[in-house]
Amino acid sequence: MDGSTPHVGAASPATAGRHALHDDPYATRDARPTRLVPRLDPVLHGARGSAEPGPLARQQLEALDRDGFLVLPALLPSRDVADLLAALAALRDGATGGAKDGVIRERGTDEVRSIFAVHRREDALGRIARDPRIAGIARQVLGAPLYVHQSRVNLKPGFVGRAFAWHSDFETWHAEDGMPRMRALSASILLGDNHAWNGPLMLVPGSHRTFVSCPEPTPARHFERSLVEQTVGIPSHDAVRALFDAAGRRIELATGPAGTVVLFDCNTLHASGSNLSPCPRSNVFLVYNALENRLRAPYAAPEPRPDFLATRDPDPIA
C-alpha cells in the first residue's frame, strides 16, 4: 500500500491556490494525508433534482446517477465515424510541436498520444462537439447552458500505447483549472472497436460519490509532464482500493463498437491500461461544463493551465 490510509470526513480548507481558506469544500494537494470526502453536488442538475427532458430515458439517467457513467453502444452511425476518422488522420499527420502546443507524444517516441482543443476546428471533430446527440445529453444532465471546457483526441497506438493512471478529472480541473463544483460531464466517442485487450476505459461504479484528495502540491507547469505521465493528482493505492471495495470489488470496462459514446461524471474514478495488442484505440474526448460553473483562479496550483486545456473564455453551445 502507498500513502496513509484514507478516511472519510468533512471537506477541509485548502492551503494552496488563491482562494480564501473557507471557500473550498474539495481541498486537495495541500500536503495533508489523503481524505475521502462525501460529494456535496448532485449528479443530475434538473429543476426537480433529477434531470430535464432530453435524449436520455429515465432508466439511463438513473444508471448515470447511480454508477457515475453510462455506455451508449453505437450511438453514432458508421458514416459519422468515418468522417471523424478522416479528420483525425489529417490532424495527426499534420501535428507539430509539443506539450506547450497541445500535442502530446508517447514518452520516448514520436507517436502522438493526445491532441487538444479539437472542438475549435471546422471539420467533423469540431462539429461533433456541438452535435445535439451529445451536447443535448450534457444539457439534460447539467441542467444549464453549457460550453466545452476541454476537448482532445486520444490515440493509443498498437504495441506502444501507454496507460493512463487512476484519477478523477475533477480533482485536476479543480486544483489546476479552478473549476468550482462538480457540474461537468465527459463524453468519450469510440472511433474504433474497444475490446478488453486494447486498453479500454476502466471505471469504478459509484466512485463519483466520493472526492479523493491528493497530498502532493502542484509543481509549476505541471501539465507539460502530467499529460505524458501523471504522478501528481492521482489517488493513493489505499484510496483506489477503498472505492473498489465500496463498489462490490467491481471495475467496469467501457467496451463497444466504433460509434459508441461513453458518458461519465467529472468525479468518476477511471483509468486505462496499456495497449499491447496490434489494434490501435482512438477516441474523441469532450468535456461539457455548466456556464455558471465557469473557471476561477486555480484552487491548488501556482498558475492556470493554458487555454487549450481549460477554456477561460466560454463560447456557449446553442
pLDDT digits (tens, 9 = 90+) for 134-144: 999 999 999 99
Would the pLDDT of 10 be above 80? no
The confidence score (pLDDT) of residue 23 equals: 77
The confidence score (pLDDT) of residue 152 equals: 94
* Extended strands (E) in the chain: 7-8, 35-38, 69-72, 103-105, 112-116, 146-156, 164-167, 184-190, 201-203, 210-212, 252-253, 261-265, 270-272, 281-290
Would the pLDDT of 179 be above 70? yes
Report domain extents, the chain: 7-293
The confidence score (pLDDT) of residue 155 equals: 87
The candidate with the shortest Cα–Cα distance to 295, out of 187, 150, 166, is 150
CATH number of 7-293: 2.60.120.620
Would the pLDDT of 35 be above 60? yes
Would the pLDDT of 21 be above 60? no
**Residue with more model confidence, 228 or 293:** 293
Measured distance CA(124)–CA(118) in Å, rounded: 9
Q: Is the dihedral of CA 136, 141, 146, 151 positive or negative?
A: negative
The pLDDT-based confidence of 153 (bands split at 50, 70, 90) is very high
